[in-house]
Chains A and B, each alone.
Chain A
Amino acid sequence: MKNDKKTILKQRADKLSISLEKKVVSGEQIKVLEFLLSTEKYAIDSTYINEVISISEITPLPCTPDFIVGIINLRGKIISVMDIKKFLSISGADTANIKKVIIVKHSDIELGIIADEILGNSIIQLNEIQTKVTSITDVNKNFITGVTNKKLIVLDIKELLLSEKIIINEEI
């Protein structure tokens, strides 16, 4: 038993020591939030993120595109929630009842993005991001900054929030 505890502690210590080493090695770096869409890992720059919430009830809105799931009430503020999978045409099953919503903000535009799973914060080196990836479709190319060597897809949330697609102006 003592040995088991020792090994567990040792592993933990090793993990922490590696993260410190990385920090030492890093040049220009950004902090991101990692999350899962279906089985793929995605990341958003932490500077645009207000907070992460867990919500069970989303009020659907009529006369909106597919990717707008509905609206939520967050401490008195009404925020629209977007299914980014439908927006980016990523295949995958519908998400669970209890949904994680990432609240992002840029120049007064606040938006909730549904994530399947929140993986946590991490720091990535900018030079690690490869911008030219052929597998990414042309339509979505504008909203993706690049892919890290750990197959982490980094979304350009600023571009996404400012894009014309997101502006809802449908007439019925």
Chain B
Amino acid sequence: MKKLSIAVKIGSGFLLVLIMFTVVSIVSIQNTKKLKENENWVDHTNEVLFKIENVLGHLKDAETGQRGFIITGLERYLEPYEQAIPEIQKDVSDLKQLTSDNDNQQRRIENLNTLISDKLAELKQTIDLRRDSGFEAAHDVVVTDAGKKVMDDIREILDSMIEEENNLLQTRKEVALAATNTAKSTILWFTIIAGVIVILLVIYYVRIIAVPIKKLSVIAKKTSLGEITAIKEDTNRKDEIGVLIESFKQMQEYLLLKAEQANKIAEGDLTIEVKAISDDDIMGVAFTSMIKNLRQQINEITEGVNVISSSSSEIMAMVSQLASGSAETASSISETSSTIEEIKQTAEVSNQKAIEVAESAAKIAGVSQNGNKAVTETIEGMNKIKQQMESIAAIVIQLSEKSIMIGDITTAVNDIAEQSNLLAVNASIEAAKAGEQGKGFSVVAQEIKNLSERSKESTAQIKTIISDIQKEISRAVMATEQGGKVIDEGLRLSSSASEVITTLAASIEQAAQSSLQIAAASQQQVVGMDQIATAMESINETSVQSSSSAKQTEESLTGLNDLGVKLLNLMKKYKLK
């Protein structure tokens, strides 16, 4: 039994129960078939009885119609007789067919047929007599009692037939009852036996399957909660339960091994070697890679912790800088806030100014038209001035020529004066040679000399004056030339001024539109500045918070630094190869 598998055990039990129930259902089906047959025979008997009653009834109807006609002589009393004649024929043939399996009844029906023919003949005779010969003849025939005697024979045969059928019915009922009783007892006994077998099977299965599984499930539940309890079940069983228990024991051993390895890892001993039992050994593979990764990670963490401890001291320095920086930021923010307030006021002023500029631009547009007109007039005036300048230049050139002529004349006069001087000197020399007589002459010579000197002085003065005049004239010529150029320049400038003014008018129009846009924009700017001011307040709060946060961070960093040292100490506990 112990070597059979659970599947065979369960299968054979259920096969036994199936056989029992098959027997019960065969018995039931056969019994039901018998009952059905019996019922059909009962129905058949009842139909035969009904037909017999019908034959008698119709015979009575025919007799009744004959009697009515005989008594009255009226044709209408023959109606029941005429209706009953075909019915009687039909009923007798049906009856013959129904009782074809019973020889006794067939013989009786032969007799009955003869008797019915006799009766019908008697009836027909009497009816014909009455119709042909009148009441007395018919009456005489009737009172012979021949008809009555036939009728009584018919009654007798029919009664015997009824009795025969009733006996048959009784026999069949008894047979049916006996079959039913047998079936009942058979079904009852088989059901009882099947129930007992089922109960026994259930007990057996509970013992060999449910109980060990229950125990295993309790242990599995404990195992799932981490408690590993040893299994005391015997391991002689070779079926599925035995295999399950064995596997469970192996699993527990495996778990205990892994727990031991995990314990070592937990203690920081990473020198242990874990080998996976197979490629499908998930935990083994996981433990192998875990140890490998842990070694690598701990190396990396150690490096990281070193970096953290050095970094945290750097961060501390940076945070203290940050703290001072945030203080500076706070002061900068307050300066910015005041600056924003100033900008806001400026924006308001610029808004106002932009509106004023728009108004001014409209005025300037009018002014520029006047300016254009004025420039046109200026151009006309410039042209007149140019003509005047040209005539002045001609006059000045004439003056220059005249002054040159004067210069030539004065040179001649100077020469004359020079000569006069020399003549005076010579005269004076001659006078000296003449002695006393020459004294008066020497006075005259002196006077001539004086005159010539005065002439020289005058000519010198005239020369200087003329040279001055020449300089002035050349300056005047240059001035007129420059004036001409200036006027040309002025003409050019005033025509370009006209263009400029036209362009300016267009520009002013644009400027007016632009200034309106500026007004709108500066309005938005004012709104924006308000928003910035609010934002700056929140920034100020934030900076105060960040300042305090920096201090807190500094404190926290001290803790972090300590933590780094602790971490370093912790990492030293790990044993690596």
A118 touches B425 (CB 8 A): yes
Instruction: List the B side residues contacting A51 at CB < 8 Å.
Output: 426, 429
Given A31-B432, A46-B432, check contact A53 B425 (CB 8 Å): no
Q: How far is the CA of A53 from the CA of B419 in the complex (A)?
A: 8
Chain A residue with the shortest CB-CB distance to B426: A51
Residues of B within 8 A of A49 (CB): 429
Give B418-455 as 1s and 0s: 1 = Cβ < 8 Å from A's Cβ atoms.
11011011101100110000000010011001000000
- Per-residue contact bits, chain B 263-282, to A (CB 8 Å; 1 contact, 0 not): 00000000000000000000
Determine the distance from Cα of A33 to Cα of B424 in the docked complex, in whole angstroms.
Answer: 12
Which DSSP category, helix, strand, loop or mixed, fits chain A's interface?
A: strand
Chain A residues whose CB sits within 8 angstroms of the CB of B445 once the complex forms: 121
Which residues in window 38-86 of A have CB below 8 A to B? 46-47, 49-54
Contacts A52-B425, A118-B421, A118-B422 known; 11 new A-B pairs at CB < 8 A: A31-B432, A33-B425, A46-B429, A47-B433, A52-B422, A52-B429, A54-B419, A98-B418, A120-B446, A121-B429, A121-B446
Contact check, A52 vs B418: say whether CB atoms are below 8 A apart.
no
B422 touches A100 (CB 8 A): yes
- Chain A residues positioned under 8 Å from B449 (CB to CB): 120
B208 to chain A, nearest CB (A): 162
Please indicate the chain A residues that have their CB under 8 angstroms from the CB of B419 in the complex.
54
Report A's interface with B, CB cutoff 8 A.
Answer: 31, 33, 46-47, 49-54, 98, 100, 118, 120-121
Q: Which of B372-426 contact A (CB under 8 A)?
A: 418-419, 421-422, 424-426
Q: 16 interchain pairs (CB within 8 A)? A: A46-B432, A46-B433, A47-B433, A49-B429, A50-B429, A51-B429, A52-B425, A52-B426, A54-B422, A118-B425, A120-B421, A120-B446, A120-B449, A121-B425, A121-B428, A121-B445
Closest partner residue, chain B, to A31 (CB atom): B432
Most buried by A among B419, B421, B446: B421
Set of chain B residues within 8 Å of A100, measured between Cβ atoms: 422
Interface residues on chain B, size class: 10 to 19
Using Cβ atoms and an 8 Å threshold, which residues of chain B touch A50? 429
CB distance from B123 to the nearest CB of A (A): 216
CB of B502 to closest CB in A, whole Å: 65
Contacts of A53 in B (CB 8 A): 422
Chain B nearest Cβ from A111, distance in angstroms: 16
For residue B425, which residues in chain A have a CB less than 8 angstroms away from its CB? 33, 52, 118, 120-121
Docked complex Cα distance between A63 and B426 (Å): 33
Shortest CB-to-CB span from A2 to chain B, Å, is 20
Flag if A120 contacts B426 (CB, 8 Å): no
Q: Which residue of A lies closest to B439 (CB)?
A: A23
Among A54, A100, A121, find the residue whose CB has the most chain B CB atoms closer than 10 A.
A121
B436 CB to closest chain A CB (Å) equals 13
B418 near A121 (CB under 8 angstroms)? no
| Residues in chain A near residue B418, CB distance under 8 A | 54, 98
**Ordered nearest first, which 7 A-B pairs have the shortest CB separation?**
A121-B428, A31-B432, A46-B432, A51-B426, A52-B425, A52-B422, A49-B429
A98 and B415 CA atoms in complex are apart in Å by 10
Residues of A within 8 A of B432 (CB): 31, 46-47, 121
Q: Which of B422, B425, B446 has the largest count of A CB atoms less than 10 A from its CB?
A: B425
A51 to B426, CA, bound (A): 5
A118 to B453, CA, bound (A): 11
- State A52–B449 Cα separation when bound (angstroms): 13
Min CB–CB distance A48 → chain B (angstroms): 10
Give the CA-CA distance A120 to B448 in the complex, in Å: 11
With CB as the reference atom, state the residue of chain B lying closest to A51.
B426
Q: Determine the distance from Cα of A144 to Cα of B261 in the docked complex, in whole angstroms.
A: 148
Q: Which residues of A contact B428 (CB under 8 A)?
A: 120-121
Q: Which residues of B contact A52 (CB under 8 A)?
A: 422, 425-426, 429
CA distance A31 to B435 in the complex (A): 11
Say how far A122's CB is from chain B's closest CB, in angstroms. Answer: 10
